[in-house]
């Protein structure tokens, strides 16, 4: 087994010099670094990363906690792609930890990344409350950023989107098109994003003096099949509606399938609006009118702010991000 001493002998330097090169010490000359890296390549030496992390207190890695119930679907594929790409652009490795099925397991995933000596951690929470995440931030020295949640005590450690206001704007667009009987499919129970979008639906109805009807609201779970079942439930109830809002694009496509099977045309008979703007939204027939959620912008702001914290640089005040309504073919004016 090749050791650090073998590398030192090959490069003609001390073992301490090899250690400084591996630790990224800027006081080692470029010529010496080149000799050491060449010796590493020729000997096939593989440094003990955990030991190096313990010694230097740096790993050049950023941890990401996402619970596995959120892995499926194009939205989170985009989130992971953006996080990995931007982490690489910052010269660091991304390490993913599974938050599994509870707040305690999310805590364990965070601790796992802390034990690996990740330089910083990003949390996309599902179960931990904002108050619990505030406590976690206060308990640890490593920079921690929370995505898609607003923290009261640590506003500099979170990046979030205005889901409720985006929902209000989307519903107002439908109302401006003459729709007043508007049905709604919620996302998974307990999801703050789902709750915010539903709150925006209720707010828009109230501000426009439109009565809320419980029969026009159905529970989904973000999946296309739950959208199909929700639409079938609405039709079975016999409740009238000229427009349907689904809390994400996946459920909208499932609802559209149910309408097709029932012989109901979108948008001629029912307009359809949703959220996220996944890539397939612009290819579906009819193309989906949807709220573009700024996933890439959220992740970029998160990484930029983390790197600033790591480098001791101040972060500018951050305002919540807003989505953009993308108007396509699935919404038309209501027929009176």
Question: In this predicted model, what pLDDT tens digit does every residue of 170-211 receive, in sequence order?
Answer: 999 999 999 999 999 999 888 888 999 999 999 999 999 999
Instruction: Report helix, strand or coil for 66.
Output: strand
Tokens representing 197? 């979008």
Phi, psi of 144 (to 5 degrees): -130, 130
pLDDT one-digit tens code per residue, 302-317: 888 888 888 778 777 7
The per-residue pLDDT of the chain, averaged, comes to 87
The model's pTM: 0.77
In contact, 178 and 190? CB cutoff 8 Å? no
pLDDT band (50, 70, 90) for residue 249: very high
**Rg from Cα positions in the chain:** 25
pLDDT band (50, 70, 90) for residue 94: confident
In contact, 276 and 161? CB cutoff 8 Å? no
In contact, 255 and 244? CB cutoff 8 Å? yes
What is the per-residue pLDDT for 27?
67
Residue 145 has pLDDT above 50, yes or no: yes
Instruction: Name the percent of the chain lying above pLDDT 90.
Output: 46
Cis peptide bond upstream of 267, omega within 30:
yes
What is the per-residue pLDDT for 56?
45
What is the per-residue pLDDT for 72?
67
Residue 255 has pLDDT above 90, yes or no: yes
Residue 45 has pLDDT above 80, yes or no: no
What is the per-residue pLDDT for 54?
43
Residue 41 has pLDDT above 90, yes or no: no
Q: Which of 51-60, 64-73, 128-137, 327-336 shows the lowest per-residue confidence on average (mean pLDDT)? A: 51-60
Q: Is 192 exposed, middle or buried (CB count within 10 Å of its CB: 0-12, 13-18, 19+)?
A: middle
Rounded CA gap, 160 and 78, in Å? Answer: 16
In contact, 331 and 289? CB cutoff 8 Å? yes
Residue 336 has pLDDT above 90, yes or no: no
pLDDT band (50, 70, 90) for residue 264: very high
Q: What is the number of other CB atoms lying within 10 angstroms of the CB of residue 24?
A: 12
Residue 7 has pLDDT above 90, yes or no: no
Q: Please report, in angstroms and rounded to a whole number, the separation of the first and last CA atoms in the chain.
A: 80
Please compute the mean of the pLDDT values over residues 255-278 and round it to a whole number. 96
pLDDT band (50, 70, 90) for residue 81: confident
The single-letter DSSP state of residue 5 is: H
In contact, 170 and 325? CB cutoff 8 Å? yes
């Amino acid at each position: 087994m090749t050791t650090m001493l073998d590398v030192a002998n090959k490069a003609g330097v001390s073992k301490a010099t090899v250690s400084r090169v591996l630790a990224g010490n800027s006081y080692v000359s470029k010529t010496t670094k080149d000799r050491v890296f060449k010796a590493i390549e020729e000997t096939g030496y593989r440094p003990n990363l955990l030991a190096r992390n313990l010694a230097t207190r740096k790993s050049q890695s950023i941890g990401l906690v996402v619970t596995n119930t959120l892995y499926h679907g194009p939205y989170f594929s985009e989130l992971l792609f953006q996080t990995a790409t931007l982490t690489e652009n910052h010269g660091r490795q991304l390490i993913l930890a599974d938050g599994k099925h509870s707040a305690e397991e999310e805590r364990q995933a965070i601790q796992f990344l802390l034990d690996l000596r990740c330089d910083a951690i990003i949390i996309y929470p599902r179960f931990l409350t904002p108050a619990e995440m505030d406590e976690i931030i206060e308990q640890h020295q490593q920079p921690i950023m929370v995505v898609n949640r607003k923290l009261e005590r640590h506003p500099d450690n979170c990046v979030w989107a205005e889901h409720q206001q985006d929902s209000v704007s989307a519903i107002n667009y439908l109302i401006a098109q003459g729709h007043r009987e508007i049905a709604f499919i919620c996302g998974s129970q307990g999801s703050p994003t789902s709750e915010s979008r539903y709150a925006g639906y209720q707010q828009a109805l109230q501000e426009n003096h439109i009565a809320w009807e419980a029969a026009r609201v159905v529970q989904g779970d973000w999946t296309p099949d739950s959208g199909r079942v929700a639409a079938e439930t609405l039709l079975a109830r016999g409740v009238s509606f000229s427009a349907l809002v689904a809390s994400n694009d996946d459920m909208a496509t499932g609802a559209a399938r149910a309408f097709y099977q029932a012989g109901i045309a979108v948008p001629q008979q029912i307009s359809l609006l949703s959220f996220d703007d996944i890539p397939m939204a612009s290819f579906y027939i009819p193309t989906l009118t949807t709220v573009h959620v700024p996933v890439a912008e959220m992740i970029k702001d998160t990484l930029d702010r983390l790197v600033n914290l790591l480098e001791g640089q101040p972060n500018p005040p951050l305002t919540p991000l807003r989505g953009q309504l993308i108007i396509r073919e699935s919404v038309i004016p209501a027929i009176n």
